[in-house]
Amino acid sequence: MRLLPRLFLSHALVVLLTVLALLVLAELLAPTFIQHHVDQMVNLIGPAGRSLRGDLSRGMRNTFTGALLLSAAFALVVAFITAFLASQRLVRTIRQLSAGSQAIAAGEYQKRLPDQGTDELAELARNFNRMAEVLAQVEASRVALITNVAHELRTPLTALQGYAEALNDGVMPASHAATSILRETRAMERLTSDLSLVSRVEAGRIELHLQDLDVSSMLSAAEERFQPLADRRGITLRVDRPSINILVHADQERTAQVLANLLSNALNYSPAGSTVTLSAVVEGRQVSFLISDQGTGLTLAQQEQIFERFYRVDASRSRLGGGTGVGLTIARGLARAMGGDVRVASEVGTGSVFRLSLPIPASSRVPSRPA
């Protein structure tokens, strides 16, 4: 049996049982009330009213029974109509959900249900629409990922094919071809490694070893690592260490990885003769590492997009530098996994300031004076 007849019959059965219970209860209680009112009328009429007791009792009983039956019949009609409309609305919503789920299963992620009203059925429709929106975003992300990975792999694969053909034709020395092939395979290995890390970060499956870390030591390590790159590019790398001892509660390796990503970006996008500054300040219960550059800066739209996978402000320049386009995605994901965040403030033509925020250990007292 279809759902609509079943719902209607279940509602009708409830109505019938209710009306039947009402009739039985009324018939059981009515004689007492009728007898009471007949006695009052007989007393008012006097001795002559005793002969009318039977007629009065039968008349009131018939009147009561007729009114009760007529009311019950009317109530049944209204109840059946209401039950039918309620069942029809519920079935309509279920049919819409069924059609919507079939559309989603078929890949039509733009399918939406009407969600008028404030009851549970409307809430169910709204939840379905939110689910469809999330699935649409996941599908769009999946398609974009496949497209971007294919695009990223095309360049090294094309290069590898060219080197192999040149080596096969004897137009390129074996040593030169080997060096070039090794460079391209390392680029592909770096891409696959970054993609694996991105997936683990987004899935929350990053293993962290949180500990209390000295901020000054981390700044010194970053300076030692990136000073040679700054010198080669003709950029001044300035590190402003805090004047007091500050600790952060984070993973040492992952924090160094995030700082390395932000610093390498700043150095890669800064012109020769400019200055890149690395500093740290206390902000509430967090320490913010600030990486400031004097590059071309970012528009507001670019500031929202740079943390998306494979987004590049300057695609050709990034590829020449060996970037995979997921560094900032990884940096923000790792920072958030450690209880912090990565943000950016920038103006076109002025430069950018990237801010890595990490929590201060719960047992540490917040410094009373600025770092």
- The DSSP annotation for 216-255 comes to HHHHHHHHHHHHHHHHHTT-EEEEE--SS--EEEEEHHHH
Nearest alpha-carbon partner for 357 in 281, 293, 301: 281
- The DSSP annotation for 28-68 comes to HHHHHHHHHHHHHHHHHH-GGGGGGHHHHHHHHHHHHHHHH
Residue in the block written with tokens 């974009």: 144
Rounded-to-integer distance, Cα 171 and Cα 173, Å: 7
Nearest alpha-carbon partner for 9 in 1, 23, 74: 1
Nearest alpha-carbon partner for 333 in 201, 224, 184, 209: 201
Nearest alpha-carbon partner for 327 in 311, 346, 303: 311
**Would you call 319 helix, strand, or coil by DSSP?**
helix
The DSSP bridge partners found for residue 72 are none
CB 262 within 8 A of CB 291: yes
pLDDT of residue 43: 72
Nearest alpha-carbon partner for 286 in 327, 249, 323, 240: 249
pLDDT of residue 154: 80
> In this structure, which amino acid lies at residue 209?
H
**Would you call 360 helix, strand, or coil by DSSP?**
coil
- Tokens, residue 7: 């719902």
Query: How many C-alpha atoms does 93 have within 13 Å on its Cβ side?
Result: 18
Rounded to 10 deg, the angle between the 215-232 and 252-268 helix axes is: 30
The DSSP bridge partners found for residue 279 are 240, 290
Rounded-to-integer distance, Cα 304 and Cα 324, Å: 18
pLDDT of residue 301: 86
pTM: 0.59
| Residue 333, number of CB atoms within 10 A of its CB | 23
pLDDT of residue 50: 64
> In this structure, which amino acid lies at residue 235?
I
Apex 358 CA angle, 246 and 268, nearest 5? 100
Question: Which run of H or of E encompasses 212?
Answer: strand 210-214
pLDDT of residue 170: 82
pLDDT of residue 40: 72
pLDDT in tens, the chain (371 residues): 565 576 667 767 777 778 778 777 777 777 777 777 767 776 777 666 666 667 767 777 777 777 778 887 887 788 778 777 777 777 777 788 888 888 888 888 888 888 777 777 778 888 888 888 888 887 877 777 777 777 777 877 888 888 888 888 888 888 888 888 888 888 788 778 877 888 888 777 888 999 999 999 999 999 999 999 999 999 999 999 988 889 999 999 999 999 999 999 899 889 999 999 999 999 988 999 999 999 888 988 888 888 887 776 665 444 444 456 788 888 999 999 999 999 999 989 889 999 999 999 987 776 655 44
Render the burial of 88-113: b for 16+ CB within 10 Å, e for the rest.
eeebebeebeeebeeebeeeebebeb
Rounded-to-integer distance, Cα 341 and Cα 1, Å: 57
Residue in the block written with tokens 């200055």: 275
Rounded-to-integer distance, Cα 174 and Cα 4, Å: 77
| Residue 266, number of CB atoms within 10 A of its CB | 26
- The DSSP annotation for 59-75 comes to HHHHHHHHHHHHHHHHH
